[in-house]
């Protein structure tokens, strides 16, 4: 059975795996994403290190040597699926990533947006399997998105379709790294969750007392996974913060339903690990704000089957299929 490498590049981590034809991860590794103050070459070095480590692991564990590499990149990937036009959380600006990696690796390279890769994984093997019209929303450092119509990924004329995180939902709202204000990802993402928790803590709100106790009183040490874990254990403030993120998620989904009309919304990314603490409020808000509610079929909102692995699984599948 042939194998392929999938790489998922996010705002905080570069994760990779060697996968078989059924989307199963056979070996895996990860690195921290270099800070965006670093030159593009530093990010490229990290990707190459991950791929080289995977090749060594595959040899050691007796896994068939991968024949292709698929990369899912957190950013605007041009229609040529070669260039990262812009990455808000990385230093890439018109970065010829496929060419750069191709010069250093003796394998065919495929590049796509990370959310496109995640949706393809869910369509091929997971929560959107069998759906002809689906939307993927990835909640991580920011918000990524992807669209499936008629069983095909919709990338747009310039390759940048699905950047839902930068839809404006609050005019004049929070400043976004993309340069605008009030973008959706400023209200429903990992960054938004942490910002709100730290804001409460730095304001000396008694609501943050229990959260601060988990991090020795240091607001800067509050993280999204820690807040989610506190909510799972019944912390009222953590639960409220996740519900607020979920509310804004539902607002955006209702807007997307009006524009795209899919049969299913698949929610992935690291923040989706909160499960119904996040998706419950999202479904409630979606039901209240869906245009024509009560008189039209409503899309379902489901958690991604593969969670944070969806990007690398889909990237591997897209890379292998591109070479067929």
Give the pLDDT confidence of 274-320 residue by residue, as tens digits. Answer: 999 999 999 999 999 999 999 999 999 999 999 889 999 999 999 99
Write down the mean pLDDT value for the chain.
93
CATH 3.30.420.40 fits 3-121+309-322, yes or no: yes
pTM for the whole thing? Answer: 0.90
Q: Where are the domains of the chain?
A: 3-121+309-322, 129-304
From CA 314, how far away is CA 320, in angstroms rounded? Answer: 10
Please state, in angstroms and as integers, the Cα–Cα distance from residue 323 to each residue in 4, 6, 118, 154, 319, following that order.
Answer: 11, 14, 19, 20, 7
Give the tokens for residue 7: 């790489």
Q: Is the Cβ–Cβ distance between 116 and 72 less than 8 Å?
A: yes
Q: Which CATH architecture has domain 129-304?
A: 2-Layer Sandwich (3.30)
CB neighbours of 194 closer than 8 A, spacing ≥ 6? 222, 223, 224, 227
Q: Is the pLDDT of residue 254 over 90?
A: yes
> Running DSSP on this structure, what letter comes out for residue 164?
G
Q: Look at residues 141, 143, 116 and name the one whose alpha carbon lies nearest to residue 252.
A: 143
pLDDT digits (tens, 9 = 90+) for 18-69: 999 999 999 999 999 887 767 788 889 999 999 999 999 999 999 999 999 9
How far, in Å, CA of 240 to CA of 155, rounded? Answer: 35
Question: For residues 119 and 314, is the Cβ–Cβ distance under 8 A?
Answer: yes
């Amino acid at each position: 059975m042939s194998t392929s490498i999938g790489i998922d590049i996010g705002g905080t981590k570069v994760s990779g795996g060697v996968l078989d034809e059924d989307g199963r991860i056979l070996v895996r590794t990860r690195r921290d994403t270099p800070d965006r103050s670093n030159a593009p070459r530093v990010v490229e070095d990290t990707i190459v290190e991950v791929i080289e480590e995977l090749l060594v692991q595959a040899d050691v564990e007796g896994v068939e040597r991968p024949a292709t590499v698929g990369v899912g990149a957190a950013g605007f990937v041009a229609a040529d699926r070669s260039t990262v036009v812009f990455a808000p959380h990385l230093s890439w600006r018109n970065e010829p990533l496929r060419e750069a990696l191709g010069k250093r690796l003796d394998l065919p390279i495929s590049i796509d947006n990370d959310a496109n890769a995640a949706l393809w994984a869910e369509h091929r093997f997971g929560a959107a399997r069998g759906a002809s019209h689906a939307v993927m929303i990835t909640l991580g450092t920011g918000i990524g998105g992807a669209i499936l119509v008629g069983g095909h990924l919709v990338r747009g004329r310039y390759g940048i379709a699905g950047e839902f995180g930068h839809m404006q939902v609050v005019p004049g709202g929070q400043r976004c790294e993309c340069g605008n204000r009030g973008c959706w990802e400023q209200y429903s993402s990992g960054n938004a969750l942490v910002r709100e928790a730290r804001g409460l803590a730095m304001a000396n709100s008694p609501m943050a007392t229990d959260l601060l106790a988990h991090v020795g009183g240091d607001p800067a040490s509050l993280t999204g996974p820690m807040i989610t874990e506190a909510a799972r254990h019944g912390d009222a403030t953590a639960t409220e913060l996740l519900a607020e993120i979920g509310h804004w998620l539902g607002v955006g989904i209702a807007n997307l339903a009006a524009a795209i009309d899919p049969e299913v919304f698949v929610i992935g990314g690291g923040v989706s690990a909160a499960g119904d603490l996040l998706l419950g409020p999202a479904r409630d808000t979606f039901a209240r704000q869906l245009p024509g509610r009560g008189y039209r079929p409503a899309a379902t909102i489901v958690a991604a089957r593969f969670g944070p692995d969806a990007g690398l699984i889909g990237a591997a599948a897209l890379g292998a299929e591109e070479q067929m």
